[in-house]
Chains A and B, each alone.
Chain A
Amino acid sequence: MSLLRPFSKLPGLNTANILVSLFSLIKLTDFTLETPRLAKSLPLPVENEETRPRIDLVVFIIHLSSELSLQSAEASLKYLDPGYFLGKVCFMVTNARSASVPTERLDAARKLAASLQCPLLFAEDQTPNGVSSATEKLLNILKVAAGHVPMATALYLSNLTRCTLPPDIAQPSFD
């Protein structure tokens, strides 16, 4: 089992690398960085180990419309070095507002993110605007995670934005 490690390689100058792990592809057209590294699931193949640059941020994209997507993300987590969980992992879910998605699945994704103290982002993958805003968000986080923002570290941002288990907001009691 090959673990992906955050600090085993030196960072390149003025570059940042993001690993996007997604069960099925969505259009991530707006990545203005160099090509993001896409993987269907972890572990990554051993062959390119040498040439692969240091990965600064791992993003799991979970399509709530498919159960497998969530399972695949869960299964991939164990191939990450614990060091990544100090702020270099985040989850992004799509289709959260769809009527066809059982609420339990969103709750499961929340629980997963909350248990790992990672941020859980939401994306609208159906519209071009939604995709570009999702990309922008990931880039914002990536910049911090790769150390391109002075006075902010990955752990700092991740700690501020991490997911907490939701209250039952369906019934706010004001009594």
Chain B
Amino acid sequence: MAANFNLPGQSDSDSPSLNDQSLFSRSGNRSLRVAEKERRKNEAEDPFVLALKYFSEVEAGTPVYGNDEVERNLVVVEKAAYSRGLSPEAVSVMLEFAMSLRMGTTLCARVLKCLIPATVVPQEAVVRAVVWLGVGKIPTSTQVLFIKWVLTMFDMIDAKDQLRAIYGFIFSFVTDENLCPFICHLLYLLTRKESVYLLLSPQGRQPFVMHLLSLYKVFCPELVTLSIPSRMRSGFRNHNSPWKSALIGIQKRNGSQVAPSISLALTVKDKGSSRKRKHGHLQLPALSSVVNKEAAEPSSLRKVVPLMQLHSFTQLLENMHQIELPAQMGSLLGSSLALQYLDCVQDESAFLRLNFWLGYALHEEFLFCGDGGTSQTSEEALQFLNRLLSTQHFLQEGFSSSEVFLYKFLSVWDGSLLRPQILGLLSNIPVVPSSRIGQLLFEPLMQLFLTSSIFFKCGLMECLNNVLLKWLNWHSVYALEDDWDISLNSHTSINMTLSGFKDSVMELVHFVGRLASLGLQLEGCHSLLLSFILDFYETVCDTFLKYGLPLIVMPPPGVFYPALLATDPVSVDRLAYIMYRWGFFIPMLQSAVNLSGCTYWQAFHISRQTFREFNQYLLFMVSCLLNSKMMFQPGVGVQLNEELLLKSNVPQYWTRFSLIHHPAFMSYAVDFHQKCWPGKKDMDLNSIKNSKMWGWYLDYLFTQGYDGLKHFVQGNISWKSAPADIQQSDSLSASTVEVHAQLS
């Protein structure tokens, strides 16, 4: 059924007034009747065709009550609509019948409710119906119903150029109090730069008006003086309309039947809910783009090239300045070319529209599910989120709408639903201001972390590590040295000072420290979890060298001691590496701060407490591993009573965590012992302690791949100089940590 709607009045009705429109609609009617006649020959017996014929020809003023014929025909149409949807022609006929009120207002709403298109909605039909709205006889509730219908079917309207041509006409309905929210939504979807229309600025500060205005402001900032909050409540409500479920049902049903036909294959491609279908839109064939080309708007001399007509990167470059974005911003996600365009051009309106669409889609699909969420594990949801993730990966930044969605989602998440995807999205969140980070992120994450399995704990640790990496990258790209403010690219809505950024990062690191301590405590110092935690601290200790951010945060005692006393040598090795990096970096930072004295560095004032902490850790570690004496200093994380240790009857307890007796390294010591004295029956590990053997033993350990340990030992031995009183050291310089790496 090819819809033949080449209306004679169409080409010269570019600036339609009411009179033009009525002419236009009548001529449309005529061509409809012609089409009907042709088909009548073939399908004269089909009751559905007869019903349509009835509705297209019925005289105005025919009574409804007691009219069996209209009832019978309407039932036929309703049945067809709910079972397989209406063809474009049928939609035109029925919409025209309903909106013209030929048989009064009662039938109008009923017909609207069953207007479920099988494939597309012809634009002309919608335009005609909008014009009927202006006639003013339709009751308000029906008007609202109609606009809701247009909003629901918006993606299915085959082209939008004529609708955009009557933008001003649609705009005039803004003054209607009841229609305003819906009209604003429709205008939002239709607005382009040319059509920003502020003669009759909508009044009020309701969210829907603000949303429209925010779009206007993007297009024409000079016209909108209102200040608009950077993040708004999603302004247009989800209309839980009667059509949606029927539409989904019909698309599912048609999916198996009509897939081969070209025009339908695309709507059907991502079968399922209408939301996902949008991914197919970029690949829509010439239909909408051709119409766009023909309808060159008289007002603008600018020639626009629809994005979907471009097929290569060179084409994109050539047409960069005259690209027209597609009607459905969601389709951008599916095309790498479109993403490249987004990335180069940094078109704020594109981001705004994309964010709007995305926020709407995420909210409707994952937070406000119609069926209680059973469909959530479906392939579609997975594909959708994976697509979103790869887009964010491509653009190297997250969308603000997905961020807002995440905050809401985390507060109702069970921790297992779509876990990889959600954690992936979480890794991409932009920097959160420190004043809100606790409420938005930390509270829900803390609960999820502590009540979930070890697997989740590891996953979250990895995710938080990625968050930190993303933030640091962001900082190193946008921060200008010696500057308080981090300069921002235009479409990021975060305004952040350097100290604000530093606070957020500190909050994050401290939060991870808390989580890590608690996690290790609850999971009995699980070595897998420990490994993920040490990953995080490796990132932290390299913030200065790799990202130029002078940040010193020591791991909390709850992480340091479990890692030092762990039973697997890898954890000890990695901790040694981290301590070596700190020892390497702290003196460097110190001299940098002393030399420059600029504000940038002073933002990172590092407290004496931090240095003292580092010195204590280092001292404990060296004395434990290398010097075979455990020194418990007052005021340090671990406190053990001397008497208690004596009571334990462990001989020479102070040597138990030296590299020879440490549970993680004892097997190496035994191995080494056997290699040195192959025939010796009774093993005396203490014999490794003499200085020559000890050096060999360390070399032996280093050959086993313990590079962290190697750096740590060599770094500390080379520092050896005049001994200082470490216990009272609260010096700002770590180089005063003169560690006696004496070999006892």
The residues of A with any CB-CB pair to B shorter than 8 Å are 65, 95-100, 106, 119, 121-124, 126-127, 129-130, 133-134, 136-137, 140-141, 144, 149-152, 157, 160-161, 163-164, 166-167, 169-175
Contact = CB atoms under 8 A, between A and B. Distances in A.
B522 interface: yes
A97 B450 contact: no
Contacts of A157: 450, 522
A37 to B, nearest CB: 21
A169 B414 contact: no
A130 B418 CA distance: 10
B372 A140 contact: no
B446 interface: yes
A98 B447 contact: no
B374 A133 contact: no
Contact of B416 (A98, A119, A129): A129
Interface string B351-389: 000000000000000111111111011000000000000
Interface stretch (B62-70, B225-233, B527-535, B734-742): B225-233
Given A136-B453, A172-B436, A121 B414 contact: yes
Interface of B: 229-233, 240, 366-374, 376-377, 404, 407-408, 411-417, 433, 436, 439-440, 443, 446-447, 450-453, 493-495, 518, 521-522, 524
A174 B412 contact: no
Q: Interface of chain A, helix or strand or loop or mixed? A: loop
A100 B372 contact: yes
A99 B414 contact: no
B377 A127 contact: yes
Contacts of A136: 452-453
A99 B521 contact: no
A97 B368 contact: yes
A122 B372 contact: no
B433 A171 contact: no
Given A130-B417, A171-B233, A65 B372 contact: yes
A95 B372 contact: yes
B239 to A, nearest CB: 12
B372 A119 contact: no
A137 B231 CA distance: 35
A169 B440 contact: yes
A99 B371 CA distance: 8
Given A149-B522, A173-B229, A126 B443 contact: no
Contacts of A152: 521-522
Contact of A97 (B240, B377, B412, B493): B412
B413 A122 contact: yes
A100 B447 CA distance: 26
B369 A174 contact: no
B567 to A, nearest CB: 16
A174 B414 contact: no
Ranked nearest first, the 3 interchain pairs of A and B with the lowest CB-CB distance are A133-B416, A96-B412, A126-B374
Contact of A123 (B404, B414, B440): B414
Nearest to B436: A172
B685 to A, nearest CB: 30
B452 A175 contact: no
A137 B453 CA distance: 7
B231 A174 contact: yes
Contacts of B522: 144, 149, 152, 157
B494 A133 contact: no
A6 B280 CA distance: 59
A72 B648 CA distance: 54
B313 to A, nearest CB: 36
B366 A97 contact: yes
Contacts of A166: 411
Contacts of A171: 231-233
